[in-house]
Amino acid sequence: MRLLDQDALERSSVAANCAMNRERRLQGYNRELGLNVIEFLGSRSTPGAPVRWLDMCCGTANALFEAAANFPHEVEIIGVDLVDFFSGPPRPPRVRLLTASVATWEPEGTFDLITSVHGLHYVGDKLGVIAKAARWLAPDGLFVANFDVRSIRREDGAPAGSPLVRTLRAEGLGYDSRNRRISCRGWREIRMPYAFVGSDDQAGPNYTGQPAVNSHYARALD
């Protein structure tokens, strides 16, 4: 099996999938995340301090523009995507768009809400990005993302399976196997006994029907 490092994966046409999530609107975000984004941000609004939302793998950022236009309070929205394929004005008010890899990018400050709609399917070190997102949360913030535990493989290619789910939950993460969503409430330091060894961009379609990336890990601790 040919495993790719992060740089090689990001040159893959699978990682730069132009079909998945590129045009998704805010209603689609609400459905995929099981969360009303505007209502959640509104519940976090306080006078004199903007609510902060980070969307990883934001695609064209249509949902972000829609949220910024309809949110009645002060808000700061940051969208990060590997591909510079954003729609809307070059410098939209209340929205900042960055072309970067979520695997290496680091933000300033913490966020009230961090999301990724189908973005983790194309990331190499998925567990590493999940751990980083947990560290980027405000003390009572929320991270929620689509995540298919079957995309996490052992070094020999076998699924990580239920031991991984138990580890995620032991670290304070929520995993909804029916809807394939991972979540975290409040800042936390995630320590998982897995070391990333590479990605398989030839894994084929996942549950979405789109080609996706499997991420392979060695057990760092036993």
Say what the pTM is: 0.94
Supply the pLDDT for residue 85: 82
With 70 as the cut, is the pLDDT of residue 20 above it? no
pLDDT in tens, 87-133: 877 677 899 999 999 999 999 999 999 999 999 999 999 999 999 99
User: What pLDDT band is residue 1 in, cutting at 50, 70 and 90?
Assistant: confident
Q: How far apart are CA 135 and CA 185, in angstroms?
A: 11
18 pLDDT more than 70: no
Name the more confident of 34 and 6.
34
CA distances, 111 to each of 61, 63, 214 (Å) = 18, 17, 28
Does the pLDDT of residue 221 top 70, yes or no?
Answer: no
CATH 3.40.640.10 fits 6-40+49-219, yes or no: no
* All structural domains of the chain with their residue ranges: 6-40+49-219
| Cα radius of gyration (the chain) | 17
**Which residues, other chains included, contact 72 with Cβ-Cβ below 8 Å and sequence gap of 6+?**
42
Element (H, E) at 127: helix 126-135
Task: Return d(Cα 152, Cα 168) in angstroms, integer.
Answer: 12
- Beta bridge pairs of residue 142: 113, 185
Alpha helix ranges (H) inside 4-156: 6-10, 26-33, 37-43, 62-70, 126-135
What is the average pLDDT value for the chain, to the nearest integer? 91
Band the pLDDT of 222: cuts 50, 70, 90.
very low
Least confident of 69-73, 83-87, 176-180, 194-198: 83-87
Model confidence at 15: pLDDT above 70: yes
Among 37-51, 77-91, 92-106, the minimum mean pLDDT is found in 77-91
* 118's tokens: 């189908």
Q: Residues 7-14: what's their mean pLDDT?
A: 89
Q: How far apart are CA 68 and CA 31, in angstroms?
A: 18
CB 38 within 8 Å of CB 70:
yes
Q: How far apart are CA 208 and CA 127, in angstroms?
A: 20
